[in-house]
Amino acid sequence: MRTENVVVQNALLLFVEVESLIQNNKLDNEFEEFQSLIISAGLIIKEKVIFKQKNPIVNTFVTKGKLEKIKTIINSKDIELVIINHELSASQTRNLELFLNVRVIDKTELILDIFASRASSHIGKLQVELAQLRHLSTRLIRGWTHLERQKGGIGLRGPGETQLETDRRLIGKRIKRLNLRLSKSHKQKEINRYSRKKSRNKLVALVGYTNAGKTTLFNKLTESSQMAEDKLFATLDSVTRKNKNPAHGPILFSDTVGFISDLPTQLIESFKGTLDELQSADMLLHVVDISDDDHKAKFKEVNTILNDLDLMRIPQIVINNKSDLLSTSKINALKVAKNDQVFISAENEQGFEELRSRINDELFDGIFEGWVLMDNNLGNVRSTLFDMGCVEEEKTSSCGKMLANIKIGNEELLQFINMKGFELCHDEDILL
């Protein structure tokens, strides 16, 4: 599955608003999002054709009259590729390609192609290949000989033409092998997850619509430098890192792939393993781009996907990001309306204090910071506290007992608080 010889191609953007297919949750800026997807795939939009249609046409999706017009544009503008904002059936694609004599890519294929160009980890690459092959196996009836063969263009990233011509049986075999390799890789991850459980780290996953600012926030929270870009699907492989800020309890943050409306089912299926990692999260930070006019619809879309993945049972804090792009009065009004949500700017680190305390409250029921006094027979408690990474400083009290300055979640502190010989230390004198 490779992306090396990527050829930039002149594309015709075909945006058809089909009245019978409009959903309740429609984005206002659907066109802009589709355009961003094409640009994110590294294509040049040479021409845009936008129109409305009542129903999809069975054979070609688009009406004959429109197709004639599109064909004229293709011939006069040196168009190599048509990209349509819908999912097409295999035969619709084939008929369109036969008529227009250029390659036709539907929205599913476009998203699969972007994923193919972004995958960098072993698991990520396997998952994308699996999704592409699954998609391909539904299209094997498609006659590929009717088009001139180009290597490396969009839609051809991944399995090359020769593979496209191999039969269903071979693809089936490859899918089986990939599934096997993936389940092995996921098993290894499960072992890592188990060792995390044994230590006391909490796992907090950042989820949200693509381009909401998850990676930017992740970088600030973990002092990392993952690639954050104004591109759709900048992040594909999930990354987990430990929190660096002392104001937090022991937390691992996980940055994940962004969601989009109409995420191809093959992708969801293939990424189930990675998304399964989210199942063990203790909390989700749902990052929203509050400056986006479509933020409400996108918020709903993300929650629908989370629900499908059975992730709505995990506590979620809604984080309205990019609040630096809105006026203070607008933000203040929004804060009143959404008073259980957090407002931040990941870029400028505004609102981080509130964010941190919300996370600590949710995860640890708040944090205790202070001195505890332990009888000398509580050596095992002392070493547990050290293992947990809670001890900031240690002393011996004037009466010869152990004193430790600890930082610990209130919930975790409960297990020690009732032990004989363990007490919170309020007496300043002891500390002198």
Ligand X SMILES: Nc1nc2c(ncn2[C@@H]2O[C@H](COP(=O)(O)OP(=O)(O)OP(=O)(O)O)[C@@H](O)[C@H]2O)c(=O)[nH]1
- Which of ligand X, Mg ion, none binds 84 (CB below 5-8 Å, type-dependent)? none
Phi, psi of 348 (to 5 degrees): -100, 5
Instruction: Single out the segment in contact with ligand X by CB under 6 A; choices: 8-16, 154-162, 214-222, 262-270.
Output: 214-222
H or E stretch including 45? strand 44-53
Residues within window 311-350 making contact with ligand X, judged by CB under 6 A: 321-322, 324-325, 345-347
Asked whether position 232 contacts ligand X by CB under 6 A, the answer is: yes
- Which of ligand X, Mg ion, none binds 127 (CB below 5-8 Å, type-dependent)? none
Q: How far apart (Å, rounded) are the C-alpha atoms in residues 13 and 103?
A: 12
Q: Is 234 annotated as a binding residue?
A: yes
Kindly give the residue spans of alpha helices, DSSP state H, lying in 101-202. Answer: 107-118, 122-137, 161-165, 168-198
Taking residue 252's Cβ as centre, other Cβ atoms within 10 Å add up to 18
Asked whether position 221 contacts Mg ion by CB under 5 A, the answer is: no
Asked whether position 355 contacts ligand X by CB under 6 A, the answer is: no
- Which of ligand X, Mg ion, none binds 325 (CB below 5-8 Å, type-dependent)? ligand X
Taking residue 191's Cβ as centre, other Cβ atoms within 10 Å add up to 10
Q: Is 108 annotated as a binding residue?
A: no
Q: Is 384 annotated as a binding residue?
A: no
* Min dist. Cβ of residue 158 to Mg ion (A): 22
Q: Is 409 annotated as a binding residue?
A: no
Asked whether position 230 contacts ligand X by CB under 6 A, the answer is: yes
Asked whether position 182 contacts ligand X by CB under 6 A, the answer is: no
Q: Is 194 annotated as a binding residue?
A: no
Q: Which residues contact 309 (CB under 8 A, 6 or more apart)?
A: 268, 275, 278
Q: DSSP state, 403?
A: E
Quick check: 402 and 381 in contact, CB under 8 A?
A: no
Asked whether position 323 contacts Mg ion by CB under 5 A, the answer is: no
Q: Name the closest residue to Mg ion (Cβ).
A: 235
Residues within window 360-419 making contact with ligand X, judged by CB under 6 A: none
Tell me the HSE value of 262 on the side-chain side, using a 13 A CA sphere: 21
Asked whether position 214 contacts ligand X by CB under 6 A, the answer is: yes
> How many residues interact with ligand X (rule CB under 6 A)?
23
Asked whether position 217 contacts Mg ion by CB under 5 A, the answer is: no
In angstroms, how far is CA 370 from the centroid of its own chain? 38
Asked whether position 81 contacts ligand X by CB under 6 A, the answer is: no
- Which of ligand X, Mg ion, none binds 210 (CB below 5-8 Å, type-dependent)? ligand X
Asked whether position 210 contacts Mg ion by CB under 5 A, the answer is: no
Closest CA to 157 of 14, 7, 36: 7
Residues within window 229-268 making contact with Mg ion, judged by CB under 5 A: 234-235
H or E stretch including 356? helix 352-364
Taking residue 293's Cβ as centre, other Cβ atoms within 10 Å add up to 12
The packing angle between helices 64-77 and 90-100, to 10°, is 50
Q: Is 210 annotated as a binding residue?
A: yes
Quick check: 403 and 425 in contact, CB under 8 A?
A: yes
In angstroms, how far is CA 282 from the centroid of its own chain? 17
Chain positions contacting Mg ion, by CB under 5 A:
214-215, 234-235
Chain positions contacting ligand X, by CB under 6 A:
208, 210-216, 228-230, 232-235, 258, 321-322, 324-325, 345-347
Q: Which residues are annotated as a binding site for Mg(2+)?
A: 215, 235
